Amino acid sequence: MAERLVVIGGDAGGMAAASQARRRNPDLDIVALEKGNWTSYAACGIPYFVGGDVSDLDDLVARTPQEFRDHQRIDVRMQHEVRSIDLQAGKVEVHDRARDRTINLSFDQLHIATGARPMRPDIGGIDLPKVMGVQTLDDAEAIVARAHMTDCRHVTVVGGGYIGLEMAEAFCRWGAEVTLIEATSQVMRTLDSDIAAKVASAIRGFGVDVRTDLPVTGFEDGVVHTTEGEHHADLVVLGMGVTPNADLAADAGLDLGPRGSILVDRRQRTSVDGVWAAGDCASSFHLLTQEPVHIALGTVANKQGRVAGVNIGGGYATFPGVVGTAITKICALEISRTGLTEHEAVEAGFEYDVATLDTSTIAHYMPEAEPMTIKMLAERGSGRVLGAQIIGGRGAGKRIDTVAMALHAGLDTQQVIDLDLSYAPPFSGVWDPVQMVARRLLRGD
């Protein structure tokens, strides 16, 4: 009888592992269990579907269940929700939603890729139908259906992270009046406050009513209660971030890491032999702090899934770690970050120098030039680059990749200045902004 791999979760962290395992072991019996209706989809595209830039949810799907069945002999079972894991017996209990039955499925190896779920604080009314999270294509379909049902003239977004801001913009494009409520003093807490203030200014200019320092105290049908009064809402979207969906793993006795994620090593092995994990449910390793960390990004999920699959299939691969690189676009503003912010550097015990530069995306005399701001941190004494944040017009955001490369290579500011980067006026000034801010750091301006 062939060895069986059971994969829990049909998105990036799960199907990347299943695909790699199949390539390396053609005899492996692979069963993938997904509780929703789609596999291998781009969740990051959901706000663009809501806003109308993407017309069909299927456009966000990289590979369908049938394609996995036909081309890779992976037994993908949709509408199958795993209820529990028995590691000692080597079985999972599964609810087949379509047939409303419970089955038990044995495994020789198990890969957990259950992703993350939107944070839902324990406040009154949080489970009302009009209070909706955004994580899966099923969520996207439900939100758009609810928006059509209610005519969606007033939308309240609770939480000012990436998803919250992107959904606020999406519903503005929809034509709704949008209020964004953030309990803390700034939107985008993954940025320093000076950079985040520019983000808030941009989305206010787009028409979103941004309220910070305003905790939500409860929900009723059509009403959001806060510490400073009530807000009418036909629809409430939760954009408060996500938490690892690791309850199955925890109940099975697997070791947990940061924020309750499944603790894995560099090969994506959990604390139990033959059990693997990848994606938003799993921990990562931060190359700067040298500590486990939880970062829920599609890039990380795909890479971790690939590493797990190679190892499951009998090969050898390691996931080297992350530096927290992320990018988004809010209105016309590109926003990106990598490495450590000032707050994160202090928490990690680094002493650092910091410089901020206001410049232009390309040569300043070109008609397409737009403003951009870049902020960079370097370790005091060594000059090693610790991180950067960028905000600006078209062409600003992807410059963060130069800094991410510098972080992976352990470059100091002088080495960044010495990089042989490309130059032509339609793309950059003679000194790239990343090098300009590194020069300012080196001089101590």
Which of the residues are catalytic?
44
- Point out which residues pair with 374 in neighbouring strands: 357, 390
Nearest alpha carbon to residue 277 among 65, 260, 290: 260
Query: How many Å apart are CA 312 and CA 15, to the nearest integer?
Result: 13
DSSP labels for 132-158? EE-SSHHHHHHHHHHHHHH---EEEEE
- In this structure, what are the phi and psi dihedrals at residue 382, rounded to the nearest 5 degrees? -80, -25
- Give 55's contacts (C-beta < 8 A, 6+ positions apart): 49
Check: CB of residue 393 under 8 Å from CB of residue 334: yes
Distance CA 266, CA 320 (A): 7
Count other Cβ atoms within 10 Å, centred on residue 182. Answer: 27
222: closest CA among 144, 149, 121, 128? 128
CB 290 within 8 A of CB 35: no
Cα separation of 136 and 163, whole Å?
Answer: 12
Query: Is residue 220 within 8 Å of 236, Cβ to Cβ?
Result: no
Parallel, antiparallel or unpaired: strands 371-379 and 385-392: antiparallel
Please report which helix (H) or strand (E) contains residue 197, including its range. helix 193-205
**CA distance linking residue 338 with residue 333, whole number of Å:** 17
Torsion from C-alpha of 153, 159, 160, 166, nearest 10 degrees: -50
Separation CA 22–CA 253 (nearest Å): 28
Q: In terms of Cα–Cα distance, which of 195, 179, 177, 178 is closest to 187?
A: 195
Beta bridge partners of 376: 355, 388
**Token pair 């100091």 in the structure block, residue:** 412
> Which tokens hold the place of 419?
């990089």
Report how far apart the first and last C-alpha atoms of the chain are (Å, whole number).
69
